[in-house]
Structure 1
């Protein structure tokens, strides 16, 4: 009989300027299977030190904080070596700042009224390399944001360097498909899908699948 290998819990850092929100999230997530809240921060300026101290796998990041907002904190964190994944947690589902946060490198976003079980599952999903793309909210945000002058041309030029198969994967990602769903649609093995995704990220100089989806949207592929 083999020896069971215990999978370490996903380490979570909670960043929010509201002490009650932090306490509620910590209580909820510490009771969820496979998760452990390892630290808290009450403003974006404290995120680097908290990350160094606690080594989280996933950061739950509020958007609106007094000194350093979540977008700036996300951008700074993603610029560091081997950064954790970041989920923006906000009450503003129509705020354009959410889209800016995704472009800054966040792996996705959730609303603060999301059911606890869904937040816990989202953290596990992001930690496993599957960023959160809520179809309803992401579609609304993308539809509301005006494409800036030249964005289409820039996105098209960047994507021109991809192979036809890589472009197929990009479109599938932009449609919110998981790796398994992409494999089924494009008749690829899961390993092949992961290889294509990795190549796309490297070629495009992007951090995650969310940014791939945004680029595909700018290029009018979805």
Structure 2
């Protein structure tokens, strides 16, 4: 009998294990949900919005908070979400990138903007960075690249694809060239050699 009595406490403890594990698991899930960074998607295309929603849902540390096909809806979602990431196409509104970024900053100060656009000239990249964008990706970028930009924004970092970063760096180099150097570089890109440049354009300054 003494052996059976000794076994009973162990049986009672083991039977309580699953009952205790369920609340703990629920608490962990709730904590993860609270720590996840909200993402609002602002694009006009329903198909693209759906793809981006799936991408956000499949990224650890991020939670999809809503999709906005208009500027007004985007602002409302960002204001409601508070500290969030807005993955947006500036073409959503007619204001242009600078005005668009200013409007977001004014109406939703806690938003971190990742621009997604087919328009990514060095000038547009500079404007986006100047007005506080956390990242810039192409609409046709692979999911891994878009995910990397969102994760960087969640960490309060900036992200540009290697190609965009190279284009941006090249644009700054070109801005430092003299007018003569810039014109010479333009001729070189058409296959002309240095000797031909000197002979054809002796008066360049």
Pairwise TM-score range, normalised by the shorter structure: 0.5 to 0.7
CA contact (8 A) 1:108 1:131 kept: yes
Secondary structure of the structure 1 residue equivalent to 2:91: coil
Aligned residue number for residue 129 of structure 1: 156
Structure number with the bigger relative contact order (C-alpha 8 A, sep ≥ 6) is 1
Q: Does 1:25 align with 2:78?
A: no
Residue-by-residue CA offset, 1:10-33 (whole Å, 9 max, x unaligned): 210001111211111112221222
CA positional deviation for 1:89:
0.8
**Structure 1 residues not aligned, in runs of 5+:** 149-222
Aligned with 2:159: secondary structure? coil
**In the alignment, structure 1 residue 11 sits paired with structure 2 residue 38:** yes
Aligned to 1:52: 79
TM-score, normalised relative to structure 2: 0.60
The correspondence for 1:73, drawn from 68, 81, 100, is: 100
Query: Tell me, what secondary structure is at the counterpart of 2:92?
Result: coil
- 1:94 paired with 2:117, answer no
8 Å CA contact retained: 2:125, 2:136: yes
Greater Cα radius of gyration, structure 1 or 2: 2
1:189-209 CA-to-partner distances (Å, cap 9, x unmatched) read: xxxxxxxxxxxxxxxxxxxxx
Structure-2 residue corresponding to 1:120: 147
In structure 2, the residue matched to 1:183 is: none
Unpaired segments ≥5 residues, structure 2: 1-23, 177-205
Q: Which runs of 4+ in 1 moved over 4 A?
A: 145-148
Deviation at residue 111 of structure 1 after TM alignment: 1.4
Pick closer, same or farther for the CA change 1:66–1:57 going to 2, 3 Å.
closer
What is the aligned residue count? 146
Structure whose residues are more often helix by fraction: 2
Q: For residue 119 of structure 1, report the CA deviation from its aligned partner.
A: 1.7
Match of 2:111? 84
